[in-house]
Amino acid sequence: MSLAALGCMFASPVRAADDPAPVVLEPSSQWVVDFAEDKCRLLRTFGEEGNRHLLSFEQHGPSAWFGFIVAGPKIEEFRPSRTEIQFGDYPPIEYRGGYTGINDEYGAALIYSLLKFPRSKGQDKVAPARLHSLPEIDPAQASKIAAITIRQGKRKVVFNTGKLTEAIKVLNQCSQDLLNSWGLDLERHRTAMRLPIWTNDAVIWERVRRRYPDRAARIGEQAVFRLRAIVDEAGLVAECTMLEATIVQKLESPACESMRNARFEPALDLQGRPMRSFYLTTISYRIN
């Protein structure tokens, strides 16, 4: 595992006297990108000694989506079902599929398995400039984010991150480099016409849903897994890997067994030839 280090307070709006003051946290470290074997993490700490907080972005391959964790003492009373996340001035995200947890070093944590920078009104009409065919977190969007706000009702914690541009670029590069460790041709993927298209996903997901492991269901265990499928030139799954995104006790996902029957339209290179490629997805096991 290798690590790469990357080297404004807000004016307070008028508020009612009984409203809690926003908690504003300044960085206490540089951004660090963890180039791990199966994932990439972008990490930074905030706050003074005794009040340390952590922000973490996580990816398991090239994608515009990412896992997100915020941890620290000021997060203890926050609950995912009532919490909004706001990246810069983009519209707040009301994501109800998060989890609470405990980080060994920083304490209470909010864990989000799948987030994406939202687009401003009208932005969907203009495709972001891309230098290659692989999906990624949009650096242009990251350049407009200088703070991340966690809000629950009138309670608000603001992380003054500074612009995320360079940090997100390194995270994207780390995620793309994972293709080399999977035995795939990164350069062919940079100019690919398309990535694999899953054609029977509804059937496979229904099988996975029905097979919630009994031992885990009995104890109400919930978990998040990342699934990585290597799809061959014929559109068949040649390899399947499940990675735990949360700590698991008894929950063993049967998804890879079901993926034996998955069918894809294969990826196509620049010349339109089928090529060996990948498909990534996230599986969340939740007890309603």
Per-residue model confidence (pLDDT) at position 13: 46
Per-residue model confidence (pLDDT) at position 11: 40
Residues 246 and 111 sit within 8 Å (Cβ to Cβ): yes
Per-residue model confidence (pLDDT) at position 282: 87
Per-residue model confidence (pLDDT) at position 18: 63
Between these two residues, 227 and 130, which has the higher pLDDT value? 227
Residues 158 and 137 sit within 8 Å (Cβ to Cβ): no
Tokens standing for 47? Answer: 């706050």
Please, which residues have CB within 8 angstroms of residue 49's CB and are 6 or more apart in sequence? none
Question: Residues 160-186: what's their mean pLDDT?
Answer: 97
Per-residue model confidence (pLDDT) at position 20: 81
Give the span between the Cα atoms of 59 and 113, in whole angstroms.
10
Question: Residues 195-224: what's their mean pLDDT?
Answer: 76
Candidates 254, 252, 272, 274; CA nearest to 264 is 274
Note the pTM of the prediction, 2 decimals: 0.85
The string of pLDDT tens digits covering residues 3-59 is: 555 553 334 444 455 678 999 999 999 999 999 989 999 999 999 999 999 999 999
Question: Domain map of the chain by residue range?
Answer: 2-181, 189-285
The answer, yes or no, to whether residue 96 has pLDDT greater than 80, is: no
Instruction: Report the share of the chain in percent with pLDDT over 90.
Output: 65
Give the span between the Cα atoms of 141 and 196, in whole angstroms.
26
**For 19-23, 272-276, 278-282, which range has the lowest pLDDT when averaged over its residues?**
19-23
Tokens standing for 247? Answer: 């700590």
Count of all residues that appear for the chain in the document: 288
On whether the 189-285 domain is CATH 3.30.2420, my answer is yes
Residues 97 and 133 sit within 8 Å (Cβ to Cβ): no
Local structure of 91: helix, strand or coil = coil
Give the span between the Cα atoms of 64 and 223, in whole angstroms.
22
The string of pLDDT tens digits covering residues 228-257 is: 999 999 999 999 998 876 655 545 677 898
The string of pLDDT tens digits covering residues 152-166 is: 999 999 999 999 999
Question: Residues 74-90: what's their mean pLDDT?
Answer: 93
Per-residue model confidence (pLDDT) at position 287: 55
